[in-house]
Structure 1
Amino acid sequence: MSHGKIREDKTCLNCGHQVEERFCPHCGQENIESRHPFYYLFTHFFEDFTHYDGQFWGTMKNLLFKPGRLTKIYLEGKRAQFVPPVKLYIFISFVTFLFISFQVANMDFGKQGAGKEKITKKELQEKVIGDESVQKLLKESPEIAKADSLTGGALKKALDTANASANDKKNDIDVENILQSKSITKSIGLQSMEDFDRREEKNGHKYETFRPFIAKIFEMEEKGLSPREITNLFIKSSIHNLPKALFLYLPLFAFLLWIFHSKRKWWYFDHGVFTLHYFSFLLLLTLLLFVAQKLLSYFEGSGFAIAMNGLFITAATIYAGCYFFIAHYRTYRTHPALTIIVGAVLFAINTILFTLLLMGLGIISFLLMH
């Protein structure tokens, strides 16, 4: 219910019936002034969702700390005291992915640690000398300069850096530009799509299904993208597809619940309500986890932040798993042993299927990327 001013005129603007108090007894519309300040357009939704009677906050508390209670009460027909399942899922999904989208935009999933990638001289020398292509060049040509002409100067630069003076105070060197000269396709021995097609002819088209994906990698490498940047794009496309994946997976999750439970006692609708509440919980937990990581990012590099981040992730993962079993038991009232068995099977199946769905959507988005 909003906090709008009640109209002096008691005639409902919607249906014309007389309104004795705040709401029309005929159509249910609130009899408040129809003209509002501009900010009302933005605050009305949240006022309506979090209205003063505590429906929203009571729903949040039960959703987080009382597994299965919302589902049980809703299926019993007591539906006025809590936010409806669909409305709850849409709201939490919107807030969660709005927050995550801002965080993911600034993330670099290819970096190992903060700052540019570093490596010691000894490690670089072992990496360069141990590389098969470098060994081949050294064997074929006694002159480093001649061999270097085949690598565009990368070999000479790497060797010069690796053999720098031992008195140099900077024992760590920046090799990001050197490592970026490598590509994903060349690391698997491919020079072009024609090369891939020739190999497929010889191998009986074993990896033909990967052809669009490899073609896309070639396309992105031609644009100058490094392996790290390509990896970033793929991971970010998968994360941005998470809302779609969850929405598409909702009916399948409910369908699997329907398969494993009595068809006479439980309707597909009942499993849908359980699914909406459980997915809302997962989204809310994810949101809280991202908020915690954002706060810890201000202490980046400290042992406390690293320890707390690991603790939060571990605790959230364990709680999400336990939550499912507790909610399942309280909703369906099956024997504890049966709850554990059925829950474990459902958990394993859903984890595999959802991972495949998310990867599939990520690949499709990656292939359609311009």
Structure 2
Amino acid sequence: MARPHNKSEFCLNCNARIGDANYCPRCGQLNTDKQVPVKQFVHDAVGDYLTFDSRFFRSFVPLLFKPGYLTNEYITGRRVSYIFPFRLYLFISFLFFFTLAIKSQMETIQVVNPYTNTEEQLNKLDDLVRTTLPDLSRTERETLKAELDSAFLLRGKPKDHYINIDGDKSSHSTLEKILDNKIKKLASEGKTGPKMFLKSMIDQIPKIMFFLLPLFALLLKLFYIRHKILYINHFVFALHIHAVFFLYLLIPVFIPDNTVFFVVIILLMVYQLLAFRRVYRQSYVKTIVKLNLIWMVYFFLIIFAILLSGLLALASI
């Protein structure tokens, strides 16, 4: 028999009057005094984790291997057993972009100073000249010295030299000047410049996705307008589709091989086809046609998003 706990007249969480009730009618907190027994503490600490853990595996496995299943479960109202779609998307997208960011950061750190090899080569050339010059005539020495002068200038810190092919810079807009300065800054970083830019772009993509997801759901609504499906259900399907994309694309991130990437793309194409068929219940022919049209439009939106993320990346450098 459970041991009765001490009750409080007022809720300790929201201060609502409870009386003899076991739970607060306003916020739902257990009616007890400030003293929490060990059993209750352990239950509160472990209970939520175990609940999330079971829902995670119940959601993760069908998301990977049963295309469209989670979306149909949500539409039919069976939702408590699975992780909320938006939370599932946030978790997987965070995992994907965090992995990309870490990998990009590691590659940036591993980049060698771009002038190190040049310096070593110049030192070797210097030694070669010292041993060779005594054997040359005076005219040959002067000619060789003149030709090598430009190479020896690289010993100091390289300076930026740009050819003005765009006319008077003073006539350019403020935005063009800012972009020009950002590009010059990236160029001055040598080999680390592209890595910095890529890392900044990766940091911007999750923000851009919050605009792309509703647009993808809107495309689904337009292409399946005859189906009596609410927009929110299209949005749930969009969350599941993008979550699967991020999960599968983690494979080539960890195994950077062209063959692996090709296999993953094929798997994603098959997954999409099966998922769309299961959710919208149309023939393979109609599904393939609509998939191609949807992704054709979405491709242009993605290109625009990439350009936007590039501009944001430049602005953040």
Above 0.5 in TM-score? yes
Partner of 2:5: 8
Corresponding residue to 2:21 among 18, 21, 29: 18
Corresponding residue to 1:225 among 189, 192, 196: 189
Partners of 1:59 and 1:70 within 8 A in 2: yes
Partners of 1:92 and 1:283 within 8 A in 2: yes
Q: Could you tell me which amino acid in structure 2 is paired with residue 217 of structure 1? A: I
Q: Could you tell me which amino acid in structure 2 is paired with residue 354 of structure 1? A: I
Partners of 2:52 and 2:83 within 8 A in 1: no
Backbone CA RMSD of aligned residues = 4.2
Partner of 1:277: 240
Q: SS of 2:51's equivalent?
A: coil
Corresponding residue to 1:364 among 306, 312, 315: 312
Aligned 1:117-266 pairs, distance under 5 A: 143-153=143-153, 190-191=162-163, 195-198=164-167, 212-221=178-187, 224-226=188-190, 228-262=191-225, 265-266=228-229
Structure 2 CA distance for partners of 1:26 and 1:361, relative to 1, 3 Å: same
Partner of 2:124: none
Point out which structure has higher relative CO (alpha carbons under 8 A, 6+ apart): 2
Q: Give the whole-Å Cα distance in 1 for the aligned partners of 2:3 and 2:70.
A: 33
1:203-250 CA distance string (max 9 Å, x none): x99x998654333222444xx411x22111111111122211222211
Partners of 1:109 and 1:232 within 8 A in 2: no
Give aligned pairs, total. Answer: 280
Q: Which of the pair is proportionally richer in helix?
A: 2
Identity %: 25
1:259-284 CA distance string (max 9 Å, x none): 21115612211211111111222223
Instruction: Give the TM-score normalised by structure 2.
Output: 0.70
Structure 2 gaps of 5+ residues are 122-141
Q: Give the whole-Å Cα distance in 2 for the aligned partners of 1:347 and 1:277.
A: 16
Partner of 2:271: 323
Partners of 1:55 and 1:82 within 8 A in 2: yes
Partners of 1:110 and 1:231 within 8 A in 2: no
Structure 1 gaps of 5+ residues are 122-141, 155-176, 294-305
Q: Could you tell me which amino acid in structure 2 is paired with residue 364 of structure 1? A: L
Residues 259-268 or 317-326, more deviating: 259-268
Instruction: Give the TM-score normalised by structure 1.
Output: 0.61
Q: Could you tell me which amino acid in structure 2 is paired with residue 237 of structure 1? A: S
The answer to whether structure 1 residue 75 and structure 2 residue 54 are counterparts is no
Q: Give the whole-Å Cα distance in 2 for the aligned partners of 1:257 and 1:49.
A: 35
Q: Give the whole-Å Cα distance in 2 for the aligned partners of 1:336 and 1:28.
A: 49
Q: Give the whole-Å Cα distance in 2 for the aligned partners of 1:340 and 1:52.
A: 36
Partners of 2:220 and 2:234 within 8 A in 1: yes
Structure exhibiting the larger radius of gyration computed from Cα positions: 2
